[in-house]
Chains A and B, each alone.
Chain A
Amino acid sequence: MRNEIRSLRAAHELSQQQLGEAMGVSRQTINSIEKERYTPSLPLAIALARYFERTVEEIFHVEVDH
């Protein structure tokens, strides 16, 4: 799933370690989300959205075939 985590984290001048600690997950998990290898759970997606003061839809982009 495409997402804006890397750009938002960079805009907030945060390291992956710092964001991981803020979210209660490992640095590697933040890295996997940024590389779009891992789709976070709904609670973590909401926590990330609240942390960056965005909506979940603004951060995570689901491509749906119509």
Chain B
Amino acid sequence: MSKSITSSRWWMPLFSLALGLIMFGAFAIGGSVGDGVFAFGVMAVLAGVFAIGATRSETLGWLGGPGRDERWAMIDLRASAAAGLVLILAVIGAWLYEIANGRDGSPYGQLGAVAGVAYVIAVAVLRWRS
């Protein structure tokens, strides 16, 4: 029931714009200024959707910042776990596809290893703290 900076209605719009600027910078460093402008534009549109939609939609309000409470925290946790599970399954699938085609499975093997180690460390830390 506590308020934080992420509860501000401007949190996600500003975060989206900041991420867009970082993406633009990365593309610019790589010599693709046009792609950077496009990426920033997409993130700017997303920022606008969050800024305007947060007051009209519970889901956008949650994603954007305002309206977050303990029920949001529970849904956020479960949604994050579901997204992580899908990502891990996709990585494992891609890794199996790569090795079945005679390649070494990079970088999916390494990504899967990172996910596995991160999970074990998270379980150990959370168990220690609870």
Q: Digit string of B69-106 for contact with A (CB within 8 Å is 1, else 0)?
A: 11110100000000000000000000000000000000
Q: With a CB–CB cut-off of 8 A, which chain B residues contact A38?
A: 71, 74
| A18 is an interface residue with CB less than 8 A from chain B | no
CB contacts under 8 Å to B, within A4-28, are 23-26, 28
Q: In the complex, how many residue pairs between chain A and chain B have their CB atoms under 8 Å apart?
A: 27
Whether B71 contacts A23 by the Cβ 8 Å rule is no
Whether B58 contacts A25 by the Cβ 8 Å rule is no
Q: With a CB–CB cut-off of 8 A, which chain A residues contact B67?
A: 26, 28
Interface size class of B (residues with CB under 8 A): under 10
Whether B71 contacts A43 by the Cβ 8 Å rule is no
Whether B71 contacts A32 by the Cβ 8 Å rule is yes
Interface of B: prevailing SS = helix
| B124 is an interface residue with CB less than 8 A from chain A | no
Quote the shortest CB–CB distance from B1 to chain A (angstroms): 4
Which B residue's beta carbon lies closest to that of A38? B71
Q: With a CB–CB cut-off of 8 A, which chain A residues contact B1?
A: 23-25, 43-44, 47
Interface size on A, residues (CB 8 A): 13
Whether A40 contacts B58 by the Cβ 8 Å rule is no
Q: Digit string of A24-63 for contact with B (CB within 8 Å is 1, else 0)?
A: 1110110010000010110110010000000000000000
Q: With a CB–CB cut-off of 8 A, which chain A residues contact B69?
A: 24-26, 29
Complex alpha-carbon distance, A32 and B74, angstroms: 13
Question: Chain A residues in contact with chain B, CB under 8 A?
Answer: 23-26, 28-29, 32, 38, 40-41, 43-44, 47
Closest 6 CB pairs of A and B: A25-B69, A24-B1, A29-B71, A26-B67, A41-B70, A28-B58
